[in-house]
Amino acid sequence: MASIAQVERETISLTRHILHEQVKSGASGDLTYLLASVQLACKQIATSIRKAGIAGLYGLEGVQNVQGEDVKKLDVVANNNFISACRGSKAAAVLVSEENDEPIVIDAKEAGKYVVSFDPLDVSWSRPTAAAAATNTTNALFS
């Protein structure tokens, strides 16, 4: 069995791993910025879910998405988090979300080279938990 010191020494965060691989490969850093932005959006979504009850974020938004599903308030918050984070990375050129009818094409001055496809909060029940959000945010990155 591993000691606590050994476990702490072997623990690697997502950010640490991405930065290590970037340096090792001599990459430009664009993917690193994008993945850090996706990580930020996931953290923001988890925070929104934890405070959903007191912030009035449970329930329906009153519209339907492209699949004809009722959009929940948390879906809107999560979608906005992803869009904002990916735009801010300046590494994405196109964003494709389950919550939007059309792809979001980022202005050429602000765009990078990646297409990001996502379902920001893939939870089919009305009161998701932070753990559910962490395991049910779906992403795909294309270069």
Tens of pLDDT, residue by residue over 62-99, are 888 888 888 889 989 999 999 999 999 999 999 999 88
Tens of pLDDT, residue by residue over 12-59, are 888 888 888 888 998 888 999 999 999 999 899 889 988 988 998 888
Residue 13 within any structural domain of the chain: no
- In a domain, residue 91? The reply is yes
What CATH number is associated with residue 54? 3.30.540.10
In-domain check, residue 108: yes
Domain that holds residue 130: 30-142
The total of structural domains in the chain comes to 1
Phi, psi dihedral angles at 129 (to 5 degrees): -105, 165
In a domain, 137, yes or no: yes
Nearest to 82 by CA among 116, 128, 50, 47: 116
Q: What does pTM read for this prediction?
A: 0.80
In a domain, residue 103? The reply is yes
* Alpha carbon 26 to chain centroid, angstroms: 25
